[in-house]
Amino acid sequence: MRTVEWNYATSQLQMIDQRLLPGELTVAVFDDYREVSQAISDMVVRGAPAIGAAAGFGLALAAQQSTARKVESLHSDMEEAANFLKRARPTAVNLTWALERILRKTYCVMDHGSADDLRLAILNEAQRIADEDVEINKRIAMHGAQLIADGDVIIHHCNTGALATVDWGTALGVIRMAHEQGKKIHVLVDETRPRLQGARLTAWELTQYGIPFDIITDNAAGYFLRAGQAQKVFVGSDRTAANGDVANKIGTYMLALATHDNGVPFYAVVPTSTVDLSLASGGMIPIEERDQAEVLGLTFQGMLAHPEGATARNPAFDVTPHRLITGIITENGVAYPPYGENLERVVKKKETP
Amino acid sequence: MRTVEWNYATSQLQMIDQRLLPGELTVAVFDDYREVSQAISDMVVRGAPAIGAAAGFGLALAAQQSTARKVESLHSDMEEAANFLKRARPTAVNLTWALERILRKTYCVMDHGSADDLRLAILNEAQRIADEDVEINKRIAMHGAQLIADGDVIIHHCNTGALATVDWGTALGVIRMAHEQGKKIHVLVDETRPRLQGARLTAWELTQYGIPFDIITDNAAGYFLRAGQAQKVFVGSDRTAANGDVANKIGTYMLALATHDNGVPFYAVVPTSTVDLSLASGGMIPIEERDQAEVLGLTFQGMLAHPEGATARNPAFDVTPHRLITGIITENGVAYPPYGENLERVVKKKETP
C-alpha cells in the first residue's frame, strides 16, 4: 500500500500513521480536510513529497465537504481550504506547490464546467500528483544509484523513503535502487533527533528491504567520516533555493560540514517540486520551530532524561549552504556546481522518456 | 558533598550514582576496588577528572583489601590492581595518570617504610589528587571566565561540571564562574546522545546554580550558530594530544566544525592532567566503542524507537583537530595556536600562586 492513498470506494483519504511506527502499522482514515491539516502538523504524515500529496487529497476532501452548488462559490471555498492547509507546516515547499498546482488547474474547469466537474477535476489532479510522485522517485533513483559503488557504506539522515513520499522514496529510494541493482551496501542510519525518524522509520524500511544497516547517533557521523568508514552521504530536502542551498531536517548542516571536511561526496536528493526558484538563497526559507515536548519527551533507561522544569528549543530544519553539496539529484538528472545556472537548467528540463 | 569522596569514618569510597540523575540523588558506597572499576565502566562515575580521582581511591581500597604484610608484596598487589583499574575505560588519560602518579609516589615509601606506611601513603596521594582537582578547576575557571562577556549565549556539550570532576567542574566550571561574577549568560545545553549527560546532568547542575538554559538536540547546534544566536562554545577533554587535538565526548568534532564555520570562538577546557604530551596527535588516542544498548535503549513518546532486531554502532568519543580550536584553557592559563609550542609551555609552567 501507499503511504498516502485515496480510497475510491469510500471517498476517503488513507494514510499510514507514522507516529506509531515501528511498533504498529496503522492506517488512519480522513474525510475532513481540517483533520488532514492537523495530521500534517502532528506528523501523522511527514516528508515533503508525502505532505504535498496529502494536502492535494485534503483539498479533494474539502471539495467533497463544500455544499456549494455554483462553481464560483466552490472555487472560493477551495481557496479558503488551500490557505488553511498551507499553514499546517511552513518549511516544505511541496505543500504550497501541490495546492497551487491544483488551484491553477481548476481555473480552466471554472470557465465551462459545473461544481461537480470542478470536484472531479480537483480529485483527478490530486491523484495525478500522487502518481507522478512515485514515477518521479523512480527516475531520481535511477540517476542517483549510478553514484553508488559496490561496497559503499552510506550515511543517511532522517527518513526519505517510501514513508516520506507517496511510495518508493527520494534519498532512501536511491539507496534502495542500488541494492536492487545487486550492489553490496551498508547504511549508517542517523537516528535523527528529536523525532527519531531515522531510528524509527528508515531502520524499519531498511529491514523490509533487506538492506544491512546500523543506527548511529546524529553526533557520531563525524567519527565515521573521519575514520574513513563512510564513502557517501545522501539526504533529502524540504525546500531547495535557486542557488542550491538546501533546507532539510535539523542536523543536515552539521552532517554536511563533517562530510565536506573529510572529502566525502554529499548528495541532496530533490524532486524538482521541492526546488523553489523564487528564493535566491536558503536564508529566505522559513524554518519551523516545533514544540519543546519533542526534545524533552524522552526516557533513557526508564528514567526521564531532564530535570523538572527544564525548557528546550526545537528548530525542525536547518539550511545547508550549497558550497557543501557535491551534487543535487533530481528526476531530470544530477545538477553539479555552479548551481546558480545548473540547477535551474535541470529543473526546467523536460526529460525525454 | 563531592562527586567522589573518601569516608574516613568507614574507610569507604562514596560516589554520586550519576546514572540515576536527575531523578534521584543517590550515593553509592564502595569497599572493593573491583567494584570501583565496574562503576567506572558502567558510568556510575564519569568525566575524566572524576574517574581519575575514583581510580586513585580505588587503589587505596585495593591497598586496604590486600593482606600483604611485606611492603614488596603489597606493592606488587598495587601494580596488579592498578592494571585492573586502568582497563575500566580506555580514552580518558586521567585514569592512567592518577594511578601512575600514586605508584610513582609509593617507590619512596618502599625504601624505608612498612606495608601500613605504604597503605597510608597511597590514600594520602589519592586524597591529594582529589583536593588538587577542586583547586585546579577553580584556577581554570578564573582564566576561562575572562573570555565570557556579559550577554553571551554559550553552547556546552556533555557534562563537565561538578559531577564530571571531584567538584566545581571544567568547562561548566568556567560558565559557573562567569555567572558568579554577575555576567548575564544563557546556556544552550547539547543533550549529548547517547547517554544524555547534557540533558540529564548539565541541565540539573545549571538548575542548582540558577543559570538560565535551554536543552537542544546535538544536531541543532549548527542552526543556532549559523543564526548568530550563540557567541561562545566551551567543551571539556578526555585526552589532549601534544599538537592540541582534543578527544572528547562523541559529537564534539561536529560541534567544532559548525562553530568554526561561523567564526565563533571554540574553547577546550583542559586540566593539564588530561594533556598527554607523549602523543603527537589525536589520531593516536584510543577511542572506546561502547555497548549498542546505549543507542537503542530509548523510548520516544512511550514507544521503542527502533525496529526489532536493529543494531547500532556506539563510539563514545571523537577527536577534534586543533585547527578548529580557538584556545585551550588550563589551570596555568590559556594556550593559543600554534599549540605545538604553546600547549607544552603552558602544561609545564608552574603558576606562581
Contact state of B306 with A203 under an 8 Å Cβ cutoff: yes
Which residues does chain A have within 8 Å of residue B305's beta carbon, measured at their own beta carbons?
191, 196, 199-200
Bin A198: left if φ > 0, else alpha if -120 < ψ < 50, else beta: alpha
For residue A132, give the H/E element and its range. Answer: helix A115-145
Contact state of B216 with A313 under an 8 Å Cβ cutoff: yes
What does each C-alpha distance from B6 to B10, B30, B41, B62, B167 come to in angstroms? 9, 10, 20, 14, 13
- Whether residues B47 and B155 share a domain: the answer is no
What does each C-alpha distance from B324 to A154, A189, A220 come to in angstroms? 26, 26, 17
Which residues does A128 contact at the CB level (< 8 Å), separation at least 6?
none
Smallest CA–CA distance, residue B185 to chain A, in Å, is 16
What average pLDDT score do residues A231-240 get?
Answer: 97
Contact state of B203 with A301 under an 8 Å Cβ cutoff: no
Smallest CA–CA distance, residue B270 to chain A, in Å, is 21
**Does some domain include residue B336?**
yes
Chain A nearest-CA residue for B261: A257
Which of A137, A166, A187 is at the close of a domain? Answer: A137
- Distance from C-alpha of B315 to C-alpha of A43, rounded to nearest angstrom: 31
- Distance from C-alpha of A60 to C-alpha of A105, rounded to nearest angstrom: 13
Which residues does chain A have within 8 Å of residue B207's beta carbon, measured at their own beta carbons?
307, 309-310
Burial state string for A210-237 with b = 16 or more CB within 10 A and e = fewer than 16: ebebbbbbbbbbbbbbbeeebbbbbbbb
**Does some domain include residue B35?**
yes
What average pLDDT score do residues A285-307 get?
Answer: 91
- Whether residues A83 and A190 share a domain: the answer is no
- Distance from C-alpha of B109 to C-alpha of B136, rounded to nearest angstrom: 26
Higher-pLDDT residue of A107, B308: B308
C-alpha cell at A133: 510522485
Smallest CA–CA distance, residue B62 to chain A, in Å, is 31
What CATH number should be reported for the domain holding residue B304?
A: 3.40.50.10470
Smallest CA–CA distance, residue A127 to chain B, in Å, is 31
What average pLDDT score do residues A6-16 get?
Answer: 98
- pLDDT score at B353: 44
Contact state of A310 with B213 under an 8 Å Cβ cutoff: yes
Which residues does chain B have within 8 Å of residue A216's beta carbon, measured at their own beta carbons?
295, 312-314
Smallest CA–CA distance, residue A24 to chain B, in Å, is 10
- Distance from C-alpha of A274 to C-alpha of B213, rounded to nearest angstrom: 35
Chain B nearest-CA residue for A158: B219
Minimal Cβ distance to B253: which of A223, A311, A315: A223
Minimal Cβ distance to A219: which of B218, B226, B311: B218
Minimal Cβ distance to B219: which of A20, A22, A254: A254
Which residues does chain B have within 8 Å of residue A257's beta carbon, measured at their own beta carbons?
222, 254, 257-258, 261
Do strands B246-249 and B266-269 pair parallel, antiparallel, or not at all (unpaired)?
unpaired
- Whether residues A110 and A174 share a domain: the answer is no
Which residues does chain A have within 8 Å of residue B23's beta carbon, measured at their own beta carbons?
303-304
- pLDDT score at A350: 66
What does each C-alpha distance from A179 to A144, A211, A257, A329, B306 come to in angstroms? 12, 7, 27, 18, 22
Query: Dihedrals φ, ψ of B290, to 5°?
Result: -100, 175
Q: How many domains does chain A have?
A: 2
| Per-residue confidence band for A351, with pLDDT thresholds at 50, 70 and 90 | low
- pLDDT score at A106: 87
Which residues does chain B have within 8 Å of residue A199's beta carbon, measured at their own beta carbons?
298, 305-306, 310
- Whether residues B289 and B191 share a domain: the answer is yes
**Does some domain include residue A160?**
yes
pLDDT tens, residue by residue, A151-160: 999 999 999 9
Closest CA to B250 of B322, B315, B298: B315
Contact state of B196 with A300 under an 8 Å Cβ cutoff: yes
Smallest CA–CA distance, residue A281 to chain B, in Å, is 14
Minimal Cβ distance to B199: which of A196, A251, A306: A306
- Whether residues B191 and B330 share a domain: the answer is yes
**Residue A223 reports pLDDT greater than 80:** yes
Residues of B taking part in catalysis: 238
Minimal Cβ distance to A219: which of B207, B251, B307: B251
Minimal Cβ distance to B207: which of A188, A300, A307: A307
Bin A158: left if φ > 0, else alpha if -120 < ψ < 50, else beta: left
Contact state of B300 with A200 under an 8 Å Cβ cutoff: yes
| Alpha carbon of residue A142 to chain centroid | 18
Which DSSP state fits B213? Answer: E
pTM score of the predicted model: 0.96
CB A69 within 8 A of CB A111: no
**Does some domain include residue B353?**
no
- Whether residues B165 and B80 share a domain: the answer is no
- Whether residues B132 and B208 share a domain: the answer is no
Taking the CA atoms of residue A80, residue A82, residue A88 and residue A90 in that order, the dihedral angle to the nearest 10 degrees is -110
pLDDT tens, residue by residue, B288-341: 999 999 999 888 878 889 999 999 999 999 999 999 999 999 999 999 999 999
pLDDT tens, residue by residue, A147-198: 999 999 999 999 999 999 999 999 999 999 999 999 999 999 999 999 999 9
- Distance from C-alpha of A106 to C-alpha of A125, rounded to nearest angstrom: 9
**Residue A280 reports pLDDT greater than 60:** yes
Cis preceding-peptide flag for B271 (omega within 30 of 0)? no
- Whether residues A69 and A196 share a domain: the answer is no
- Distance from C-alpha of A136 to C-alpha of A132, rounded to nearest angstrom: 6
Contact state of A193 with B217 under an 8 Å Cβ cutoff: yes
Helix, strand, coil percent content, chain B, rounded in steps of 5 = 45, 20, 35
Cell 507522478 -> residue: A132
- Whether residues B187 and B314 share a domain: the answer is yes
Contact state of B250 with A23 under an 8 Å Cβ cutoff: no
How many CB atoms lie under 10 A from the CB of residue B90? Answer: 18
User: Which residue, among B306, B319, B320, B324, would best test binding to A if mutated, counting the most A CBs under 10 Å from its CB?
Assistant: B306
Closest CA to A61 of A108, A25, A15, A113: A15
- pLDDT score at B155: 98
Contact state of A219 with B295 under an 8 Å Cβ cutoff: no
- Whether residues B89 and B172 share a domain: the answer is no
- Whether residues A23 and A58 share a domain: the answer is yes
What CATH number should be reported for the domain holding residue B31?
A: 1.20.120.420
Which of B82, B112, B137 is at the close of a domain? Answer: B137
Which residues does chain A have within 8 Å of residue B296's beta carbon, measured at their own beta carbons?
215
**Does some domain include residue B339?**
yes
Contact state of B218 with A217 under an 8 Å Cβ cutoff: yes
**Residue A1 reports pLDDT greater than 60:** yes
- For chain B (353 residues), the mean pLDDT of every run of 10, in chain order, is 97 97 95 98 96 98 97 96 96 94 89 92 97 97 98 98 97 98 98 97 97 98 98 97 98 98 98 96 96 91 89 98 98 97 92 48
Minimal Cβ distance to A258: which of B215, B254, B319: B254
- Distance from C-alpha of B116 to C-alpha of B106, rounded to nearest angstrom: 12
**Does some domain include residue B111?**
yes
Chain A nearest-CA residue for B303: A23
CB B168 within 8 A of CB B176: yes
Q: Report helix angle B171-180 to B115-145, nearest 10.
A: 60
What average pLDDT score do residues A41-60 get?
Answer: 97
**Does some domain include residue B8?**
yes
Domain with A101 in it: 4-137
Which residues does chain B have within 8 Å of residue A310's beta carbon, measured at their own beta carbons?
199, 203, 207, 213, 215
Measured in residues, chain B has a length of 353
Which residues does A80 contact at the CB level (< 8 Å), separation at least 6?
none
Q: Of A218, A238, A245, A318, which residue is the catalytic one?
A: A238
CB B236 within 8 A of CB B268: yes
Closest CA to A153 of A263, A269, A233, A265: A233
Chain B nearest-CA residue for A303: B23
Smallest CA–CA distance, residue B353 to chain A, in Å, is 38
Measured in residues, chain A has a length of 353
**Does some domain include residue B59?**
yes
- Whether residues B241 and B180 share a domain: the answer is yes
**Residue A304 reports pLDDT greater than 70:** yes
What average pLDDT score do residues A19-32 get?
Answer: 96
Which of A103, A137, A171 is at the close of a domain? Answer: A137
Minimal Cβ distance to B257: which of A19, A213, A254: A254
Which residues does chain B have within 8 Å of residue A195's beta carbon, measured at their own beta carbons?
300
Smallest CA–CA distance, residue A334 to chain B, in Å, is 27
Which residues does chain B have within 8 Å of residue A309's beta carbon, measured at their own beta carbons?
207
Contact state of B312 with A216 under an 8 Å Cβ cutoff: yes
